[in-house]
Amino acid sequence: MPDLITHVAVSHLIRRPYELAKHKVGLPFRSLFYLGTILPDILTRPFYIIFPATYNWTFPFHTLLGMGLTTLLLSQFFDAAIRKRAFINLAGGATLHFIVDALQIQIHGNNFWLFPFSWKNFSYGLATAGQMIEYIPYWIIGIIIFESMVYLIRKKRQVHS
């Protein structure tokens, strides 16, 4: 769970400035972006934690290829008019997930970016997952400060309009 909070917090701090710059609310697509950032873990971790023997069957969903195919499949459930944007947001969130994972020190290989062509684990190894958890309060405080600033700026613009 804390790892999911880290992924959503990072995605929020990256996605919101884009929306603010474009003057779009984008809530449905923001939700898909958030879903994309947690999707690789949701599709794999519960299964191989409860049933360790399923690891070899589930880990392909925690790869770029696996997530690319999964997000492509999921986007087909959306109306044709928004299908492309749904795919871009799901895939963008999933890609951000892998970038954040690459910052962690991996005990077991978990970042097979070139799967099935390579089994080389890709990681910058900046912090362990446990160390990332320690930063959750800072992520939450950062989001609260960021959103408070957005609120105050919007309120100031409404007063001057």
Backbone angles phi, psi at 127, to 5 degrees: -155, 155
Single out the residue of 57, 16, 64 nearest to residue 39, CA to CA: 64
112 in a domain, yes or no? yes
Strand partners, 104: 127
If one counts the domains in the chain, the total is: 1
Domain of residue 30: give its range.
2-135
151 in a domain, yes or no? no
12 in a domain, yes or no? yes
141 in a domain, yes or no? no
Single out the residue of 70, 49, 66 nearest to residue 3, CA to CA: 49
Q: What is the pTM of this model?
A: 0.78
113 in a domain, yes or no? yes
Give pLDDT tens digits for 114-129. 788 877 777 776 777 6
Give pLDDT tens digits for 31-90. 999 999 999 999 988 888 898 888 888 888 888 999 999 999 999 999 999 999 999 999
140 in a domain, yes or no? no
- Nearest-5° Cα angle at 148, 145 to 153: 125
154 in a domain, yes or no? no
156 in a domain, yes or no? no
Q: H-type helices in the chain, by residue range?
A: 2-22, 27-42, 45-50, 55-58, 64-75, 83-102, 129-134, 136-160
